[in-house]
Amino acid sequence: MSERPEKPAPKVLSQRAILIGGLILVVIAVVVTWLLLKLSVGTTQLDAIRTGGTLVVGAGGAVALLLTARKQRSTELELRQKHDAHLLAEKIANDAREDAIERRITDLYIKAADQLGSDKAPVRLAGLRALERLAQGNPGQRQTIVDVICAYLRMPSVQDEQEREVRLTAQRILVTHLSPTENPDKFWPDTDLDLSGAALDGFRLSHCRLRAGFFTKTKFTGTAWFTNVEFTGDAWFTKAEFHGDVGFERADFQGRGGFTDIAFAGKAGFGNARFAHTVRFDRCVFGGTAKFDNAVFIKSVGFIDVEFGKDAGFSGIHFIRAPRFDGSRFRGPARFLKTTFASGARFPDVTFTGNPPQEVAEFRPDGAQSSDGSTD
């Protein structure tokens, strides 16, 4: 590695140079005076000497002004160098401080993550709380810490009461920091959840806002609540298992959504939910009642080869685009009261094996209904 050349030291005006400059001025004064005396015509010697002195004084003043300007420039350069040095020192100090903070955050993160791997439940709980505090104080680390908590919930668990409490705490931490209204000071915006394949017990995401949610093959035991949840990005529940009731009432799905191949063992509520993009419920099995009353589908929706085991409610829906119910089976009452279908809606191979009420008595697989429930 080559060395950088050193900058030459600035030249200093020495006393010898000043003395030589003064002697030169004196010599110039003598020569000018002699020439004026020699060449003067009709002037006195006194006038010649006075003129020579004036020229010398003027030259001396010019030299003094030049020296003053040189000194001023030197002073300004020195001040600039000091300012630059001060800025450099501040930058070095800030970099050192940021490095120290990063090292501290890394140390705390590693320590907390190690606690999650402990075989003792209280230590794992302490690790979760340490990660929560770290994320609350450092927004740039929040998604990473959420990913760690989600990864913990995705791991296989030993079925004991202590581990169940640890996992419920992990779920509560996520919910607490995804609620913008109930916990505005603790809200973590623009957060993604990846709980694919996790086993969740009594999961509640009501009144929460998150960017994207991934729940593919997730197993929900107990009641799962997603009421008033807002997904600003995608939400995927493909092949999820709901072993209890689930509520998606008034949920807002702003991105893409996938609900295919899901087994709903209990009640499933999607009333007043809003879907901004295409959404599919193909091959789902609704073991309990399925309520979609007053749901809003901005784009297309599919219920292909779906089995509705009990009541199915689709009242008050205005299908902007033709829905797909191909091959679906309604085992119980199906309600389409005041439901409107887009032109061209077709329902091939739809079967009603229950005792449908009057509001679907005129339902025709090859036709669309008007808003009053009558056929066209």
Q: Whole-prediction pTM value?
A: 0.70
Mean pLDDT throughout 212-240?
96
The answer, yes or no, to whether residue 96 has pLDDT greater than 50, is yes
C-alpha distances in Å from residue 54, one per residue of 19, 30, 38, 58: 20, 12, 18, 6
Most confident of 2-11, 152-161, 303-312: 303-312
* pLDDT computed for residue 52 by the predictor: 65
Model confidence pLDDT, tens digit, residues 338-348: 888 887 777 78
What single string gives the DSSP state of each residue in 163-220? HHHHHHHHHHHHHHTT-TTT-GGG---S-EEE-TT-EEES-B-TT-EESEEE-TT-EE
C-beta separation of 286 from 263 below 8 A: no
75: pLDDT confidence band, cut at 50, 70 and 90? confident
Model confidence pLDDT, tens digit, residues 221-233: 999 999 999 999 9
C-alpha distances in Å from residue 194, one per residue of 86, 148, 179, 214, 241: 47, 10, 17, 5, 16
User: Is the model more confident about 120 or about 105?
Assistant: 120
Report the residue count for the chain: 376
* pLDDT computed for residue 74 by the predictor: 75
Could you tell me what percent of the chain has a pLDDT over 90? Answer: 48
Distance CA 282, CA 265 (A): 16
Mean pLDDT throughout 240-256?
96
Distance CA 105, CA 53 (A): 77
* pLDDT computed for residue 7 by the predictor: 56
* pLDDT computed for residue 194 by the predictor: 97
Structure tokens at 129: 């709380």
C-beta separation of 275 from 252 below 8 A: no
* pLDDT computed for residue 374 by the predictor: 38
Mean pLDDT of the chain: 82
